Structure 1
Amino acid sequence: MKILRMLLPGLVMLLVLSLVNFYIGIHLWVLIKDVIPEFSAAAYWTVFIIIAFAYMIGMVPWPQAVKPAARFFKVVGSYYLACMEFAIIVLPLTDLLYWVLGLMGFDRTLFIPEAGAALILLLAVFLIWGSRNAWSTVVRNHPIRIHKTAGSSAPLTVAVASDLHLGNIVGNRHLGRMVREINSMQPDIIGRGCAGRQH
């Protein structure tokens, strides 16, 4: 009974994740079938399922020999999670728009390819913009004057790093660049803010 109580939340989460991915997968399949009618359903769903669960596949404790492949799956899965968040927001709105246009008597013949192209373009912009922001160290200087003596009038340079999001996409290379940037400031004190969730 105790084992069941431990497994139940995981099974519920897996069921919800599967339903969400099915909802996304159906929409993408409808778009692909509209653009490429001869595309194989078996090939599509095989690739889609692998990508949708890539992060979980990468989290499996694989032997050392296949660790690079596991890392690849984690990166793919991390990007897919961003796509999934985007899809959860925009697809219900797109469905609602499709339904409203039908009620108003509009011709929806070109709705699927046009809406699909617009959403894919928007997603690409968000992914490129987000990746650029994640890999770019942003430096902001905030001079602070304290109107009381502390035994010395020498100014102090305090460096604080926050919102790092270190994980599968943003890794040691980005961290190395950031450390070099901080060292170039020659700070007297180094602190760390909230690191945020991993990606």
Structure 2
Amino acid sequence: MKPRIIMNFALIITLYSALTFYIGWNGWIWLHTAFGLQDKWIFGVILELISFSYIIGHFLKGIPFFKVIGAYWFGLLQYAILFLPLANLIALVLIYLNLPTTTIVKWVGAFVLAAFIVLFLYGSFNAYSPVVRKYSLAIPKNAGKLTKLRIAMASDMHFGRLSGISHARRLVREVNALKPDLILMPGDIIDDDPEPFIQKNFGDVMKDLSAPLGVFGVLGNHEYYGGGIPRYLTEMNRIGITILLDQVTNIADSFYLVGRKDKTDRDRMPIEDLLMNTEINLPIIMMDHQPAELKQAEKNHVDLLLSGHTHRGQMAPNHLITKRMFEVDWGYLKKNQLHTIVSSGFGFWGPPLRIGSRSEIIQIDVTFV
């Protein structure tokens, strides 16, 4: 391992440990003051175990408890970094005004805890209660016998431990209710490892997705992270979902459907090579998990580009980061002939929380003119 990588890793661990200590110190002061908790060493060991649960769960895959606890910890970590400095400042001001220190610690801590509870309840509702967002657009091309096309799109389900089987049933129910002609899933259908997806029989639920023109998907970065793509593809094939791997398919002699490998894949084809043999007089609809190559898609006559990946930051204010990373990190953008739609996703990564974003299914009504 290169020295620079070792130094960066050491820096990250040091910073992470410092943040964990800061959160733990605040928690200990409040618990000790409000409830008389005495054994700081037991508290410290439990905190360390929780803070590294996600990593532990990665190695102890047979014990999902650690991954679940670790996922919620990430949500707590982010908002503790935002809430606690403000709480500390308020407490210092009140102490400076000669108010009783014990009372201040108790009540400021209680307000912080209440804020976390409200935030987590609100975030959980947003995560598990999807909305249907509707877009209507026109593509000025002849699509054979088709004059209209309804697409149901869902991305970033991250099905596994926390985005569970009931959420999958919700997806099937909501998508089928739209009566789509075509169902598209632009990546991150599973959360890394395909084992929970297969073990919990997600496939038997998702095989009920129904559309006359078919159900198609592409790989997202998390399918690569899991390292089980062959097994995943076998399961998708079993349940009738076609995963396009840098492939172009002609749908009903009416339009091209293009599915790209994720940007994670070093061997993925450039758009111009992938579309080399397509006829530009037919509509071209493309799925690309990450909305990172809009200019190339526009240049190569793609009419509709569908992506996910960003989660719209998932937990505010992370959306400020995704807005800087991508030309469009959520919603709709038109560039000349190219219509781009980026979904915030149906599921979630890490904590089952959405603050400032909402789980969603996309309905796209296309008119060919």
Cα distance between partner residues in 2 of 1:9 and 1:147: 48
**Structure 1 contact 51–77 (Cα < 8 Å) conserved:** yes
Query: Alpha-carbon deviation of 1:32?
Result: 0.6
Q: Which runs of 5+ in 1 are unaligned?
A: none
Cα distance between partner residues in 1 of 2:118 and 2:4: 42
Cα distance between partner residues in 1 of 2:36 and 2:101: 18
SS in 1 for 2:152: strand
Please tell me whether residue 131 in structure 1 is matched to residue 245 in structure 2: no
Q: 1:167 to 1:90 in 2, by over 3 A?
A: farther
SS in 1 for 2:131: coil
Query: Alpha-carbon deviation of 1:187?
Result: 1.1
Counterpart for residue 308 of structure 2:
194
SS in 2 for 1:139: strand
> 35-44 or 100-109, which moves further after superposition?
100-109
Identity of aligned residues (%): 30
Counterpart for residue 56 of structure 1:
55
Cα distance between partner residues in 2 of 1:147 and 1:40: 67
Cα distance between partner residues in 2 of 1:107 and 1:139: 51
Aligned length: 191
Q: Which runs of 4+ in 1 moved over 6 A?
A: none
Please tell me whether residue 21 in structure 1 is matched to residue 20 in structure 2: yes
Q: Which has the higher strand share?
A: 2
SS in 1 for 2:153: strand
Q: Which amino acid aligns with 1:81?
A: F
Task: Please show how residues 89-104 of structure 1 align to structure 2 within 5 Å.
Answer: 89-104=82-97
Q: Which amino acid aligns with 1:118?
A: F
Write the deviation string for residues 52-73 of structure 1: whole angstroms up to 9, x where unpaired. 111121122x3xxxx342x211
Q: Which amino acid aligns with 1:194?
A: G
**Structure 1 contact 164–195 (Cα < 8 Å) conserved:** no
Please tell me whether residue 177 in structure 1 is matched to residue 155 in structure 2: no
Write the deviation string for residues 102-122 of structure 1: whole angstroms up to 9, x where unpaired. 344444441111111111111
Q: 1:183 to 1:110 in 2, by over 3 A?
A: same
Task: Please show how residues 1-199 of structure 1 align to structure 2 within 5 Å.
Answer: 3-60=2-59, 62=60, 67-69=61-63, 71-142=64-135, 144=136, 146=138, 150=142, 154-162=147-155, 164=157, 166=159, 168-191=161-184, 192=186, 193-196=307-310, 198-199=349-350
Cα distance between partner residues in 1 of 2:79 and 2:160: 20
Q: Once superposed, what is the RMSD of the aligned Cα atoms?
A: 2.5
Cα distance between partner residues in 2 of 1:37 and 1:153: 72
**Structure 2 contact 23–80 (Cα < 8 Å) conserved:** yes
Query: Alpha-carbon deviation of 1:88?
Result: 0.1
Q: 1:26 to 1:38 in 2, by over 3 A?
A: closer
Q: 1:59 to 1:163 in 2, by over 3 A?
A: closer
TM-score (normalised: structure 2): 0.47
**Structure 2 contact 94–104 (Cα < 8 Å) conserved:** no
SS in 1 for 2:176: helix
**Structure 2 contact 31–37 (Cα < 8 Å) conserved:** no
Write the deviation string for residues 34-93 of structure 1: whole angstroms up to 9, x where unpaired. 022243112211111111111121122x3xxxx342x21111011011001110001111
**Structure 1 contact 75–168 (Cα < 8 Å) conserved:** yes
Write the deviation string for residues 136-193 of structure 1: whole angstroms up to 9, x where unpaired. 2222334x26496745574321212246455652245423421332123221233343
SS in 1 for 2:65: helix
Q: Which amino acid aligns with 2:131?
A: V
Q: Which amino acid aligns with 2:51?
A: A
Cα distance between partner residues in 2 of 1:168 and 1:92: 33
Q: Which amino acid aligns with 1:89?
A: L
